[in-house]
Structure 1
């Protein structure tokens, strides 16, 4: 076996392993470029090293662009669009504030967490509806 063939095969395997250990769909495409050069060098034995590196760079860029164009889902609709937006999941919910809203700020316990609430001045124990979210502050109105 020639050292170029072994080198490109080893590089492809290292890149695939790096993708498996730290997934992010980036090393995979560069590994595909290395695997393609491995096949080229195995089939054609007289390719100079400089052209092997050029082919590796070009094939890596082409594989990344193919992924970006065809591989990524375009505007995929989720059945749970608010999955990782916990505060926005609370809009419309009726809760009881546990700390007076004074000067527009107060606190409410919702499920297992305390949330900062903003709205008109209200005493603790008042039922309010979450109407909006600004950052991590819930905007509320009395029910």
Structure 2
């Protein structure tokens, strides 16, 4: 057996293993390119090493373009897009002010967390609607 065939089989398996350990769909497509070169070398054993490497590079670029064009945009959207964006998930909620808004800055308590808020000056206890989030600060407006 030609050692080039064995080498491309090992490269393909290593790329697939890397994809399994750190999923992201990138190594998968390089693995497909390595499998294609493996098949070429298996069918035509006298291909020079430089041509094999060049074929791998070209097939890698082609397979990544196939992924980017046909598969990347078709990923299913999440039913909870703000799951790990806690501040953005609060937008639209109405909560009472814990501390008054003075000079555009105040504080609310939501569950067990205190959030800094910005908005028009209002007394403590006023109901405010969260309209946006900027980092760890929430933008509010009067709820009434």
TM-score, with structure 2 as normaliser: 0.87
2:96 equivalent to 1:96 = yes
Task: Show the counterpart of 1:106.
Answer: 106
Task: Show the counterpart of 1:51.
Answer: 51
Q: Which whole-Å deviations, capped at 9, do the CAs of 1:53-95 have from their partners, x for residues lacking one?
A: 1110011111001111111225966544444433233222110
Q: Which moved more, 1:81-90 or 1:28-37?
A: 81-90
Task: Show the counterpart of 2:32.
Answer: 32
Structure 2 residue matching 1:24: 3-state secondary structure: coil
Equivalence map 1:1-143=2 (5 Å): 1-73=1-73, 79-143=79-143
1:13 deviates by: 0.3
Q: Distance in 1 between matches of 2:25 and 2:75?
A: 18
- Deviation >6 Å, runs of 4+: none
Structure 1 residue matching 2:109: 3-state secondary structure: strand
Q: Which moved more, 1:79-88 or 1:117-126?
A: 79-88
- Paired positions, count: 143
Structure 1 residue matching 2:41: 3-state secondary structure: helix
Q: Distance in 2 between matches of 1:110 and 1:40?
A: 62
Structural RMSD (CA): 2.0
Q: Distance in 2 between matches of 1:13 and 1:55?
A: 18
Q: Distance in 2 between matches of 1:74 and 1:2?
A: 40
1:119 deviates by: 1.7
TM-score, with structure 1 as normaliser: 0.87
1:113 deviates by: 2.2
